[in-house]
Amino acid sequence: MIDDDEMDFELEPDEEWDSMDYISDMADSSRSMMMDVVYSSIVNNKIEVVNSMTITSKKLGAIEHVLSFFEELEDYEKCTELKKIIDKIKE
């Protein structure tokens, strides 16, 4: 357990610190983490994803949304994996 004496916090605000930038960075980071989790769930459960009873158009729309996120990041390895799953669903 950490004692209050061991905590070293500056109580004076940093003049360069911008709370709105911090919040924006947190939102971007959270979205990225969420998309990584969604991606992992999709690729680690390919058979279940392809064979799920979800309406095909909704399933494709969701995966294409994840694909577009990774296209923006130019993470083409993930895009390739998602594209393979999309193609399999369309068969």
Report yes or no: 87 and 63 within 8 Å, Cβ to Cβ: no
Within 10 angstroms of residue 63's Cβ, the number of other Cβ atoms is 19
Q: What is the pTM of this model?
A: 0.70
**pLDDT digit string (tens) for 23-77?**
677 666 788 888 999 999 999 999 999 999 999 999 999 999 999 999 999 999 9
Q: By C-alpha distance, which of 30, 36, 38 is closest to 59?
A: 38
Q: Distance between CA atoms of 73 and 88, rounded to whole angstroms?
A: 24
How confident is the model over 79-89, as pLDDT tens digits? Answer: 999 999 999 99
Contact assessment for residue 59 and residue 86, using Cβ atoms and an 8 Å cutoff: no
